Structure 1
Amino acid sequence: MGRWEPGARERLVLAAVDLFTEQGYDATTVAQIAERAGVTKSTFFRHFADKRELLVAGQEALSLLLTEGIAEAPAGAGPLEAIAAGLERASMAMGPVNRELAPRVKAAVAASAELQERDALKSVSLAAAMTAALVARGVPGPTAALAGELGVLAFKRGFATWSEGDHDTGEELARLTRAALDDLRAAAAALG
């Protein structure tokens, strides 16, 4: 077992998802995950605080991509256009590995109340990041919060469609998240 082998973080995520799928989240130990990934337990803990953190490993990167896209949207873009720019930026970073893992992660989350709670917190965190990015652009708080929540819903809907289909590229995910955002915009307008 190499002490500083590259890709340890990714191998840990893949090993955890496989084990969670095979034997369930609660029955899987950190030691089993580390062994399956070919690393030591101390390497595991250098990358993750606990096994719950494995399934939200990309959350910080996703938040950063979303907020960068929002910040870099054209100056005259409205809140939902800025959200669309964030969704596009985040989507372009996704690839076949994300698509392949998605159904297994979804199954692991569905089977564990603890992971469902963590997934809900992830959504709240993403919405808060997008809201803050919009407020930084001068969007009023309530409008920014609503747009941030719509952004999370659009990303989830687009990602679900993308991961369940034959779409391998980030470009396809960007198209699907944009379509989901457009659908949500129309639904919000229909509320009257």
Structure 2
Amino acid sequence: MLVLSGCAGKGEVIAISIPAKRVAAEATARNPGGPHVAVTVFEDGRSNKTRLGVRTHLFGGESHFNLTNGADPREATAQALVDYLVKKGWNVSFMKPGATNGADVTISGKILELSLDAKSGFGSTEIVAKNKLVLQAKNQADGSLVRETLNGLGTDSVFWFDPKDGQDLINEVLERNFDKFLADTTIEGKSLRLK
């Protein structure tokens, strides 16, 4: 059974969702006095844009990780930030390219690394997720910028690999980067500033 399962699925595409699940927009009403924040589609500065990563199987062969339904990593990562900020009670929306919506703060980003890799061995699979992201917030009131480079790394070891393990790990790494961004910034009136 172990031999058969170690070879199962070689060559397949393993779908990963970012964000893992959508957050209801009603949460934005919790902070009506704060700035209105718009998050734009991020840039993709990854060296390999064709996939998220590779799962190496126990007895040889590879499968590839990619976003569910061919989703665009630039939009998916930006949406993950929107959902994260909604959960934190921010007044935030996703802004499509070329749109205007009168936001007080516009957050853009560049993905330098977004990867998920898994390597199966005897009795375990080692999973590694990485994210390097540059976030930039532009304050409309004075044109000032807040810019930060965030690095995230997560590892996990599981006995029996399930794609959800990888999905949970990469979303956790993204959320930790967002946590750091919020910890390093503060709201002053309708603007975002570094602490």
TM-score under structure 2 length normalisation: 0.30
TM-score under structure 1 length normalisation: 0.30
